[in-house]
Amino acid sequence: MVTGRTLSARVGTLLLTLWLVSILVFFAGQVLPGDVGRVMLGPFADAQAVAELNKRLGADQPVLVQYGRWFSNVLTGDFGTSLSMRAPVAPFVLESLKRSAALAGIILVFLVPLGVGAGVIAGLNAGRFIDRLIVMAGVSFGIVPDFVSGLMLLIVFGLWLNWFPISGVAPDGAGFWTNGYYLILPALPLVLNLAGYIARMTRAGVIEAMAADYTRTAVLKGLERREIIFRHVLRNALTPTIAVLATQTGYMLGGLVVIEALFGIQGLGNLVLNAAKARDFPMLEAGVLVMAAIFVLSAAAGDVVLALLDPRQRRRASS
């Protein structure tokens, strides 16, 4: 199993990475064109009033002092005040993260059975027609950008056939199932884009597991094919796929800017995009920091899952 020393090293690396990300996010926000006081008071505000506001906000202090104050506040969950909304940033980020999480959940509901199921079928029929068909379909859908497939799906299923709403936002007061229904169409472009990759990962794991010694031993013992597949093949073949799904979750939560903009979903990606347009530096820095943290944490979760489930990884970790 994963030793305490290894776990401590991974946690330390994770914290160090997040700290470096916070530095990059803050200083990247500082080099963007614009002035905090000018953004808040408008382009025609008096220069003296702008200077006084910058002084009151601490924006005229050295950059390192500003970073120290900002980072200490971030550690307590205080991301500052939005320049455009004139309200604390944290509630906006949390609400956007909830919307992105709901979309990611719908994506996983379709992606896991489709990608894993297709990969298992392809791996068990390696070299046959069904295997080549699944691989070809996965590659074909995977090379299409999600905004292209999203636009096509919106036109066909949203406008022509009218099967799904063209917006990803359900009416106020809508229930759980209604909200999920409104997110199906926005989720499909990502499902089509990622299903082929998940299927290829699963297929490779199944083929490797079918050729492993433990599978051959099970065959020699006379076990039924179904028992061999479920108890020996899938148990070992799906480990890399689970790790990949964990890392892809970060992308689903923070990297869907185009899909969120296309379907009008005020998720985390759209929040960052709108903050950049409005030069809302506290909102932008908070959104990017949370997005980067999600990517780092999901990648770390994938490594931990792989280390816990894969015996070879456990042996390397303990050695």
- pLDDT of res. 67: 84
Percent of the chain surpassing pLDDT 90: 10
Number of domains in the chain: 2
Of the three residues 31, 56, 88, the one that is the final residue of a domain is 88
User: Does 30 lie in the same domain as 99?
Assistant: no
Domain of 195, CATH number, reads 1.10.3720.10
Q: Is residue 72 domain-shared with residue 111, that is, in the same domain?
A: no
What three-state secondary structure class fits 211? coil
Residues 215, 282: one domain?
Answer: yes
Share above pLDDT 70 across residues of the chain, in percent, rounded to a whole number: 83
Q: Is 157 in the same domain as 257?
A: yes
Which of the listed residues 88, 118, 134 is the one where a domain comes to its end? 88
- Judge whether residue 32 has pLDDT over 50: yes
Residues 66 and 140 in one domain: no
Q: Read off the pLDDT of each residue in 197-223 and give the average, rounded to a whole number.
A: 83
Nearest to 294 by CA among 75, 14, 26: 14
50 and 199, same domain (yes or no): no
Distance CA 200, CA 195 (A): 9
Query: Is residue 113 domain-shared with residue 16, that is, in the same domain?
Result: no
Contacts (Cβ under 8 Å, ≥6 apart) of 92: 82, 85, 271, 283
The sign of the CA dihedral 275, 77, 38, 32 is negative
Q: Taking all residues of the chain, what is their mean pLDDT, rounded to a whole number?
A: 80
Cα dist. 120→75, 215, 222, 230, 306 in Å?
44, 15, 22, 11, 19
Report the pLDDT averaged over residues 1-17. 69
Among 66, 88, 110, residue at a domain's last position = 88
Residues 62 and 126 in one domain: no
Based on the domain organization, do 125 and 249 belong to the same domain? yes
Cα 311 to Cα 69: distance, rounded to the nearest angstrom: 45
**Owning domain of residue 108:** 90-317
Q: Are residues 56 and 105 in the same domain?
A: no
84, 127: one domain: no
> Helical H runs in the chain?
4-31, 36-41, 47-57, 63-75, 89-111, 117-124, 129-142, 146-153, 176-182, 184-210, 213-220, 225-228, 234-237, 239-254, 257-262, 268-278, 281-309, 311-318
The 10s digit of each residue's pLDDT in 255-284 is 678 888 888 888 888 888 888 887 778 888
Same domain for 244 and 292, yes or no, is: yes
Cα radius of gyration rounded to whole Å, the chain: 24
Q: What pLDDT shows up at residue 40?
A: 59
